[in-house]
Structure 1
Amino acid sequence: RPGDEVYGDNLGLMGGFAEYAVAPESALAHKPKTLTFAEASTLPQAGAIALQGTAGLRPGQRMLINGAGGGSGSFAIQLAKRAGAHVTGVDNAGKLEFMRSLGADEVIDYRGQDFTHGEPYDLVLDLVAHRSVFAYRRALARGGRYRCVGGSVLALLRVVTIGAIAGWLTGRRLGLLAVKQGPVHFEPLAERCVAGDVHIHIDRTFGLDEVPRALARVGEGRALGKVVIEIA
């Protein structure tokens, strides 16, 4: 109804950097009263990725999150730890302490260490895919799963073609995480945030006229958690 405070993901409209935007009612949910609009805005996309990317984890399993110091990664670390997993976070050196503060058991600076060499993982959530699919396969324990969301177009194509076959032949599963959209896929995380079980980490907020600076901060790998655009 007019005046309702709502939030949601308008990814299907390919953009929301505007004072006004049109979105289908099915994409929106009532904003929890205890969350600010800035906090709520972090959940529909990054939260949905984290929820779906950590689904199926069991206590004691080993999970690695590549790009764990950003928006989706900061949620995924917390969710994986709540599921009882042993969590390794991978990002640049400037984010190692941040990932530890979120609960990561181990942290890796990707510039100094290749996470695909070492003890294998039961689940890898890759938010910045760019390695060979054979390296990803090597990082998985038998029966393990690799799911990527972001990365170069070439890397993603290799995952869905060569990776799927190579994984199947060796008892591993490599593929894309097809993120489902809509309130049913992000409201469960909002409820956990309201309850204090999961925390929202906003790195910085920018005004609408500062969108290029905000995107640059994310692209340069400097954001600890989510970057938010606020309308004055």
Structure 2
Amino acid sequence: MKALVQHVYGAPSSLVLEDVPDPVPGEGEVLVRVRASSVNPYDWHFMRGEPYVARLMTGGFGLRRPPVGVLGCDLAGRVETAGARFGPGDDVYALLPRGAHAEYVCVREDLLAPMPVNLTYEQAAAMPMAAVTALVALRGVEAGQRVLVNGASGGVGTFAVQLAKALGARVDAVCSTANVEVVRTLGAEQVFDYRAEDFTRSGRRYDVLLDIAGSRSVFACRPVLARTGTFVAVGGRAGRWLQPAGHVFAALASGFFARRRVVLADAVACADKAAVLRELAGLVERGAVTPVVDRSYPFDDLRAAFGYSEAGHARGKVVVTLGEPGGG
């Protein structure tokens, strides 16, 4: 089979599309034919080995060379072999540790969830990492609360706006000029164009401030965060040494001094990813949430998909397709 393989750290051009042995499912696994995957910041941070602190996440084995052969966390596809929970022909989606940028992958059944019946493979592949992150970030939000999403036009942000709305919250958002109308159609009431206005001077107060952009500190956000409010740190643009981890840890550390509650939203650390994906599927099937896909690339152009995603201008998600389009 073909897979996008990483042998060295570097730019998208360092990734190699090559033939690798077909995977063989082990105990508790099924073979899935990948019909679509998507690109996340998580992928291109590991692609470059930046921030450098990420190289320590595997116990030091990735300091000089990447420990991962095939990147990719999000997949939508069709089960090829029989398991205890899933069988041949079942359409599934999943959030994996690695390996989704390949024609086939062996997946533990406890990581799989049935794909939303009203989505294509491309749409379903846009969901796992971004939508799980958004839903984890919004846990505890109650109907009637005010939520601000800073960084609302990217993968996590487009889901966060819709999910907060589905939870009954009143949602405001921050994004660039070009994306204001798109974010408004997702359910945001007030949309701040960060190029033209400073949301921290708006005079509004929020119960939850979801910081995806990583552009403002907890201290800067104090004027718009209720005294009992929560600052949810998701990420930010990567630097070579610590960012976005540095931004997240700084937010956690400064919460005490800013006298505001600060929490971290992390899809990778989510204990039962499949359960969250099933919950999300229900929201999608009843029309409360729709994935926003900016661009869809064929598998042969996966390196271009990495480049476009890393540039940071995607509206929603960047998806990669394998085989004929559609599905679901």
Q: What's the TM-score once normalised by structure 2's chain length?
A: 0.64
Instruction: Give, as a single letter, the amino acid of the residue that structure 2 aligns with 1:160.
Output: L
Residue in 1 aligned with 2:235?
A: 150
- For residues 31-42 of structure 1, the aligned pairs below 5 Å read 31-42=115-126
Preserved contact between residue 40 and residue 190 of structure 1 (Cα < 8 Å) = no
Specify the alignment match of 1:140 in structure 2.
225
Higher helix share: 1
Q: Does 2:213 correspond to 1:125?
A: no
Partner AA of 2:151 in structure 1: G
After superposition, what is the alpha-carbon deviation per residue over 1:179-219, rounded to whole angstroms, capped at 9, x for unaligned?
31511112111112112222222222111222232233333
- Matched residue SS, 1:45: helix
Cα shift at 1:34: 3.1
How much is the aligned-residue C-alpha RMSD, in angstroms?
2.0
1:219 correspondence with 2:310: yes
Offset of residue 105 of structure 1? 0.3
Q: Take 2:224 and 2:309, find their aligned partners in 1: how far apart are those partners?
A: 27
Conserved in 2, the CA contact under 8 Å of 1:44 and 1:183? no
Alignment correspondent of 2:25: none
Cα deviation per residue 1:63-90 (whole Å; 9 max; x = unaligned)? 1101111222112111212233221111
* 1:13-32 correspondence runs (5 A): 13=98, 15-32=99-116
What is the one-letter code of the residue matched to 2:182? F
Counterparts in 2 of 1:6-155, with a 5 A limit? 6-10=92-96, 12-13=97-98, 15-118=99-202, 119-151=204-236, 152-155=244-247
Q: 1:32 to 1:224 in 2, by over 3 A?
A: same
State the distance in 1 between where 2:115 and 2:170 align.
32
**Distance of 2:168 and 2:322 partners within structure 1:** 38
Instruction: Give the whole-Å Cα distance in 2 for the aligned partners of 1:88 and 1:113.
Output: 14
Checking the alignment, whether the CA contact within 8 Å between 1:95 and 1:224 is kept in structure 2 is yes
- The number of residue pairs the alignment matches comes to 226
> What is the rounded CA distance, in whole Å, between the counterparts of 2:223 and 2:117 in structure 1?
46
When residues 18 and 134 of structure 1 are mapped into structure 2, their CA distance, relative to the original with a 3 A threshold, is same
Where 2:103 maps in the other structure, the secondary structure is: coil
Uncovered stretches (5+) of structure 2, i.e. residues with no partner = 1-81, 237-243, 324-328
Q: CA deviation at 1:137?
A: 3.2
What SS does the aligned partner of 2:164 have? helix
Match of 2:45 in 1: none
More deviation, 50-59/101-110: 50-59
Query: Which residue of structure 2 lines up, in the alignment, with residue 193 of structure 1?
Result: 284
SS in 2 for 1:145: strand
Q: Which secondary structure does the structure 1 equivalent of 2:306 belong to?
A: helix
Deviation at 1:154, TM superposition (A): 2.2
Alpha-carbon distance in 2 for matches of 1:80, 1:196:
14
Among all aligned residue pairs of Structure 1 and Structure 2, give the percentage whose two residues are the same amino acid.
38
* Superposed displacement of residue 6, structure 1: 1.9
Q: Secondary structure at the match of 1:186?
A: helix
Which residue in the other structure is 2:54 paired with?
A: none
Q: Which has the larger radius of gyration?
A: 2
Contact 1:160 1:176 in 2 (8 A): yes
The TM-score normalised by the length of structure 1 is 0.88
Residues 117 and 138, structure 1, Cα contact 8 Å, conserved in 2: yes
Offset of 1:228 from its aligned partner? Answer: 0.8
User: Which residue of 1 is the match for residue 50 of structure 2?
Assistant: none
Distance 2:309 2:193 in 1: 17
| Structure 1, unpaired ranges of 5+ | none
Select which of 261, 266, 274 maps to 1:178. Answer: 266
Counterpart contact for 2:163–2:288, Cα < 8 Å: no
Q: Report the equivalent of 1:210.
A: 301
